[in-house]
Amino acid sequence: MAPGRAGGQDPGQEDRRPDHRGRSKLILYLDSSALVKFYVEEPGSSESLALYERVDLAGTVMVARAEVSAGLARAGRTGALSGPKAREALGLFHREWPRLVHVLASEGVVARADALSWEYELRGYDAVHLAAALVWQETLGLEVTLASFDETLWEAGERAGMEVWPESLAAYLD
């Protein structure tokens, strides 16, 4: 599933049973660092797009919309994207946003993030991402893979018992 084809189905209808091709379905939670890689060419972009091609269902927390938008604006300011390309990327992101499952930053998710921020020494929105991914996984009753290029969040996801992607961040860290 490339950007533009992300699942927008009811998340309760998805499962990890083998599909008609005999493979397990891949449910992917994308944090903002993973989402930005679809729009800004940087280390990990091609691998992220290749993974996304195989996804059966993809989602993120609602606040990721503001984070990705801010990341694209930053890319325009720093020259990672030209001004027109940054605006074009933002427009593409806005068109693709409805195709993702949106995990609400509800009172329960934020309360869980509150506890996770202390347990794993996470920044605020990183804790919200981990809480949303865990709540989504628990709600589905199925394995959800956390995609993140943020080292602290990636490690916290692993410690919390989630599948994390990429398998190793070493190649992507500065």
The DSSP string of 1-57 is --TT----S-GGG--SSB-TTS-B--EEEE-HHHHHTTTS--TTHHHHHHHHHT-SE
Structure tokens at 69: 């938008």
Residue 142 in this model has a pLDDT that exceeds 70: yes
Is 12 within a domain?
A: no
In the chain, the number of structural domains is: 1
Q: Which domain holds residue 141?
A: 24-172
Is 132 within a domain?
A: yes
Is 36 within a domain?
A: yes
Lowest mean pLDDT among 17-26, 96-105, 157-166: 17-26
The band of 10, judged by pLDDT with boundaries at 50, 70 and 90, is very low
The model's pLDDT over 17-66, given as tens digits with 9 standing for 90+, comes to: 444 455 578 999 999 999 999 999 999 999 999 999 999 999 999 999 99
Is 150 within a domain?
A: yes
**What CATH number should be reported for the domain holding residue 132?**
3.40.50.1010
